[in-house]
Amino acid sequence: MFKAQQQSKFEPSRDNLAVQIQRLNYFFGAGDLSKQVLFDISLELPKGQIVILTGPSGSGKTTLLTLAGALRRLQEGSLRVLGQELVGLGDRALVNIRRNIGFIFQAHNLFESLTASQNVEMAVELTGDFASKRQQAVAMLSALGLDDRVDYKPQSLSGGQKQRVAIARALVNHPKLILADEPTAALDKKSGRDVVNYLHNLSREEGCTVLMVTHDNRILDVADRIINLVDGRLESDSSLNAFVQSKTKDSLTDISADMFIM
Ligand X SMILES: Nc1ncnc2c1ncn2[C@@H]1O[C@H](COP(=O)(O)OP(=O)(O)OP(=O)(O)O)[C@@H](O)[C@H]1O
| Binding partner selected for residue 27 from Mg ion, ligand X, none, CB under the kind-specific 5 to 8 Å limit | none
| Binding partner selected for residue 20 from Mg ion, ligand X, none, CB under the kind-specific 5 to 8 Å limit | none
CA 252 to chain centre: 24
Report the C-alpha gap between 94 and 98 in whole angstroms.
Answer: 6
Count of residues near ligand X by CB under 6 A: 11
Question: What are the C-alpha distances in Å from 3 to residues 187, 237, 241, 255?
Answer: 22, 19, 9, 16
> Residues 47, 61, 169, 225: which binds ligand X (CB under 6 A)?
61
At closest approach, how far in Å is the CB of 43 from Mg ion? Answer: 17
59 binds Mg ion (CB under 5 A): no
**Closest CB to Mg ion among residues 49, 62:** 62
184 binds Mg ion (CB under 5 A): no
> Residues 2, 37, 142, 153: which binds ligand X (CB under 6 A)?
37
At closest approach, how far in Å is the CB of 252 from ligand X? Answer: 22
> Residues 6, 13, 57, 248: which binds ligand X (CB under 6 A)?
57
59 binds ligand X (CB under 6 A): yes
> Residues 20, 49, 54, 62: which binds Mg ion (CB under 5 A)?
62
> Residues 28, 156, 201, 258: which binds ligand X (CB under 6 A)?
28
**Closest CB to ligand X among residues 4, 257:** 257
Report the C-alpha gap between 226 and 205 in whole angstroms.
Answer: 21
Do 167 and 186 touch, CB atoms closer than 8 A? no
Do 203 and 209 touch, CB atoms closer than 8 A? yes
At closest approach, how far in Å is the CB of 187 from Mg ion? Answer: 17
- CB neighbour burial string for 113-140, b if at least 16 within 10 angstroms, e if fewer: eebbbbbbbbbbeeeeeeeebeebbbeb
| Binding partner selected for residue 159 from Mg ion, ligand X, none, CB under the kind-specific 5 to 8 Å limit | none
Torsion, CA 148, CA 172, CA 4, CA 16, rounded to 10: 180
Helix 189-206 / helix 159-171 crossing angle, nearest 10 deg: 0
Report the C-alpha gap between 192 and 136 in whole angstroms.
Answer: 21
Q: Are strands 225-230 and 209-213 parallel, antiparallel or unpaired?
A: unpaired
At closest approach, how far in Å is the CB of 181 from Mg ion? Answer: 6
Residues that bind Mg ion (CB under 5 A): 62
Residues that bind ligand X (CB under 6 A): 28-29, 37, 55, 57-63
